[in-house]
Amino acid sequence: MIIERTIVGLATCFNQPPQGGRPWHAENFRDFLDDRYPSAVPLRVDHGPLVSRRGVIANIGVAHTFAAVTVPVPGLLCLAEVEEAGGLGDWLLHDIDLMLQQRWLPAGWGMSLGANQLDDIVIPFEVSMTRSLAFEDALVWPPGRAR
């Protein structure tokens, strides 16, 4: 893993309903966090592929480490690595860095979790970088940066 290419953030917030959905709770992710299912999932932008002059890029990286946290808010913490992805990964990292340098505007990039739910079990299948946040606290920041 290349630390300069990693990002950290809340993939989803617990105990809060997203727009038009029902809330997830830490216990819903127990099987996923206990490694009963594969824990590495694709990292995407806005839950879909990116289309550029060079073609279609399905994933911009991989989200591979997750933990249930209670601070700064209850949620699913995610560590992901952004790949080069035909230069688009570099653009994304640069854009995140520029936004986080602003002191008077809120951060623009956040995370959003794509998951399947069966009864009380939630299994993520992708994490997306997005500017359309379902939860205002589902923000992203590079490791080592204070919030």
Q: Give the residue among 70, 9, 62 at the shortest CA–CA distance from 38.
A: 62
In one-letter notation, the amino acid at residue 32 is: F
pLDDT tens sequence across 75-134: 999 999 887 767 777 777 777 666 666 655 555 778 999 999 989 999 999 999 888 888
pLDDT band, very low/low/confident/very high, at 145 (cuts 50, 70, 90): very low
> What tens digit of pLDDT does each residue of 56-76 get?
878 888 998 999 999 889 999
The residues spanned by each domain of the chain are 3-141
pTM score: 0.82
CA distance 28 to 106: 30
Backbone angles phi, psi at 38, to 5 degrees: -60, 135
- Model confidence pLDDT, tens digit, residues 19-42: 778 899 999 999 999 977 767 999
Instruction: Please report which helix (H) or strand (E) contains residue 51, including its range.
Output: strand 50-52
